[in-house]
Amino acid sequence: MTDLAVQFTGVTKQYKHFTLQNVNLELATGSIMGFVGANGAGKSTTIRILMGLIHQDSGAVKVLGHDMPADQAAAKRDIGFVSEDMRLYGPATVAWHMEFIRSIYPQWDKLYAEDLLRRFDIKKEQKVKGLSHGQRVKAALLLALARRPRLLVLDEPTTGLDPVARREVLAELTAVLADENRTILFSSHNTLDVEQISDQITFIDRGSIIDSANKEIFLDGWRRLRLMLPPNTPLPQLPGVVEVGGSNRLPVLTISHFDPAMVAACQQAGASVQAVDPMTLEEIFVVNVQNRREKAIA
Amino acid sequence: MNTYIVKRLIFKDWYLYRGMLVGALILGLGTTEAIALAKATWIAVIMGVIVLATIIIGMGAIITSTSVNERKQQTLPFVMSLPISYIEYTTSKIVGSLLMFGALWLALVLGMVATILSTPWFPHGMIPFIVIMSVEMLASTCLIAAVSVTTESQGWMIGITQLGSLALNAVGFSIVRLPGIGGTMKSATVQWSSTSITILLVEFAVIVLIIATAFFVQSRKRDFI
């Protein structure tokens, strides 16, 4: 049986204009999950429920073996949390924040914190209000990482950063994550960020989990088949076709469970396979979301 | 209740507000000293009391706004990412605000009383009235702290602060007409009548009720951020 760091079972949360519906989510210990969704899809609501900051209306949430939100204080001893809307205390220095966190977390790793200060190029004597947004994000990451959490929850940490700062934060984060065997939930609407550091991907849209799998399964399974059909030749019937684009003569099939045997099947059906294109995570996400939304309307 | 973390959060707020606290304390104690140095003329005493009351009310509003500021300045997710429950956060905010304010309040009230007691010609019978009004300010600050932590809304806080100021005037005008208080105010000695003691007890009971209500409301909250 897999050891689960996070387990959501049938979690629902209703607001006036938004409902998180029947969320079932499992994050195995040691894995890095990218949690992808458009703005307002329900990522932050899910993460706030995970952190015990809001109560689910129904369903069960277990984090590191603790029931949430009842055992949130115990669970949060082993969680490092950084969110896009999280700010540190402006008038206080980075060193004060480090001392504050150290006084709360006995597992605070002083040497690691000093190492992160160097890697993130942050001066600990500097007041937080004097830091750039990118430096503030790095300082928040430092405070979360140096407490040596068993679970790291990052809610859109790169949102609002300029491209240079975003690249720096991601590069440092990737380097830091390579050092450790941590369980991480990383939410973002930016698929490039997620693709870079995650080994598992979960898509959420309009309050529902629409797909969740290993990153390689997504990237290996999704393909675009560019066909050329002779006149009066019907489109080959293939399993897992999510979207049909292009023209009647030059159709483009988007397939969610690609199998190399499909190429031969197309040729047998009279079609000429012009190309089998891999898809980026962003393309997979967009097609996935559009497909679900169209199904919902139908 | 994890009292260690509650204490850490209280120390955090003390640290962040230390400049203002020390400044208010210096200004307040300086005012009482100035009254004494001005040979305690009537006008000096009245001006001094007004300055002290302004410091107490103003600092009460600033100190109790820590909960609203946590939300406004987006530091609440940082605090709530720490291993604490809602009730521990509430405890740190209410107890922390009241300890901070209480220390300043106590220093200024004692300074005011000491100044009056050291002024032989000033009617010491004023002291029960001043103490009742000071405890009224404490109760008003407790109410602002409770509303601040439960609503985390600046609008509500401003409304309750204004209400507190109006209540202060209303209480002042009402109790000064009571024989047990108004009748002894011009006395040369301090006279604690049963009326003034009853009013003080009611004020402290109201403070306890306000704090208990704040904890009750917080314990029923489902969403914190």
- pLDDT category at B15 given cuts 50, 70, 90 is very high
Q: Is the pLDDT of residue B46 over 80?
A: no
Record: contact B77-A85, CB cut-off 8 A = yes
Query: Which chain B residue lies closest to A68 (C-alpha atoms)?
Result: B85
For A82, which residue in chain B has the nearest alpha carbon? B78
pLDDT by residue (tens digit) across A222-233? 999 999 998 888
Question: Which among A63, A67, A100 is the top mutation candidate for probing chain B, defined by the most B β-carbons within 10 Å of its own β-carbon?
Answer: A100
**For residue range B76-110, what is the model confidence (pLDDT) as tens digits?**
999 999 999 888 988 898 889 889 889 889 988 88
pLDDT given for residue A22 in this prediction: 92
- Average pLDDT on B142-149 reads 87
Residue A181 confidence (pLDDT): 65
Contact B222 A55 (CB under 8 A): yes
Q: Which of A252-261, B72-81, B117-126 has the least mean pLDDT?
A: B117-126
- In chain A, the DSSP E strands lie at 4-14, 19-28, 32-37, 58-63, 66-68, 79-83, 151-155, 183-188, 200-205, 208-214, 223-228, 241-246, 251-255, 272-278
Residue A81 scores a pLDDT above 90: yes
Name which of B83, B222, B225 is nearest A77 (Cβ-Cβ).
Answer: B83
Instruction: Give the SS3 label for residue A96.
Output: helix
User: If we measure between CA atoms, which residue out of A94, A138, A101 comes closest to residue A119?
Assistant: A138
B106's CB contacts (< 8 A; 6+ apart) are none
The residue extents of the domains of chain A are 4-214, 223-278
Is CATH 3.40.50.300 what the domain over A4-214 is classified as, yes or no? Answer: yes
pLDDT-wise least confident of A21-35, A83-97, B45-59: B45-59
Nearest CA in chain A to B75: A87
Mutate which of A78, A86, A105 to disrupt the B interface (most B C-beta within 10 Å)? A86
Residue-wise pLDDT for B175-202, tens only, equals 888 888 888 888 888 888 999 999 999 9
pLDDT at B67 (0 to 100): 81
Please give the residue that has the higher pLDDT: either A29 or B223.
A29
Is the Cβ of B220 closer than 8 Å to some Cβ of chain A?
no
* A125 pLDDT higher than 60: yes
Q: Are strands A151-155 and A79-83 parallel, antiparallel or unpaired?
A: parallel
The reported pLDDT for the residue numbered B225 is 66
The pLDDT of residue A233 is 84
Which residues in A lie closer than 8 A to residue B80 (C-beta atoms)?
A: 51, 53
Our CA-based measurement puts residue A103 at a distance from the nearest CA of chain B, in whole angstroms, of: 8
Reported pTM: 0.83
What pLDDT score was predicted for residue A62? 95
pLDDT of residue B183: 84
- Smallest Cβ distance to B223: which of A54, A83, A86? A54
Nearest residue of B to residue A14, measured between CA atoms: B223
Distance (Å) from the alpha carbon of A185 to chain B's nearest alpha carbon? 15
Residues of B in contact with A103 (CB under 8 A): 8
CA contacts within 13 A on the Cβ side of A38: 12
pLDDT higher than 80, residue B13: yes
What pLDDT score does B132 carry? 93
CB contact under 8 A, A85 and B74: yes
The arithmetic mean of pLDDT across residues A53-81, rounded, is 93
Give chain B's mean pLDDT.
Answer: 87
B9 contacts on A by Cβ (under 8 Å): none
Taking the C-alpha atoms of residue B95 and residue B214, their distance in angstroms, rounded to an integer, is 11
**Quick check: B224 and A86 CB within 8 A?**
no
Sequence-distant (≥ 6) Cβ neighbours of residue A284 within 8 angstroms: A218, A219, A222
- Rounded distance between C-alpha atoms, residue B86 and residue B84, angstroms: 7
Rounded to the nearest angstrom, the minimum Cα separation between A188 and chain B is 17
A-chain CB neighbours of B223 within 8 Å are 53-55
Contact A73 B85 (CB under 8 A): yes
Q: What is the pLDDT of residue B218?
A: 82
Cβ(A242)–Cβ(A291) under 8 Å?
yes
Q: Do A73 and B88 touch (CB under 8 A)?
A: yes
Residues 11-30 of B with CB under 8 A from A: 12, 15-16
User: Which of A146, A129, A19 has its CA nearest to residue A80?
Assistant: A146
Q: Nearest by CB to B73, which of A48, A54, A87?
A: A87
Residues 112-171 of chain A with CB under 8 A from chain B are 140, 144
Provide the percentage of residues in chain A whose pLDDT is more than 90.
47
What is the rounded distance in angstroms from the CA atom of residue A173 to the CA atom of residue A171? 5
pLDDT tens profile A175-189: 777 666 678 999 988
Q: How confident is residue A240, by pLDDT bands cut at 50, 70 and 90?
A: confident
Say if residue B223's pLDDT is above 80. no
The tokens describing A249, both together, are: 């003569």
Q: How far apart are CA B125 and CA B189, in angstroms?
A: 5
Q: Which of A83-92, A171-180, B149-158 has the lowest mean pLDDT?
A: A171-180
Q: Do B78 and A100 touch (CB under 8 A)?
A: no
CA distance B179 to B199: 13
**Number of residue pairs across A and B with CB atoms under 8 Å?**
65
Give the mean model confidence (pLDDT) for residues A157-162: 81
| HEC-encoded secondary structure of chain B | CCHHHHHHHHHHHHHHCHHHHHHHHHHHHHHHHHHHHCCCCHHHHHHHHHHHHHHHHHHHHHHHCHHHHHHHCCCHHHHHCCCCCHHHHHHHHHHHHHHHHHHHHHHHHHHHHHHHHCCCCCCCCHHHHHHHHHHHHHHHHHHHHHHHHHHCCHHHHHHHHHHHHHHHHHHHHHHCCCHHHHCCCCCCCCCCCHHHHHHHHHHHHHHHHHHHHHHHHHHCCCECC
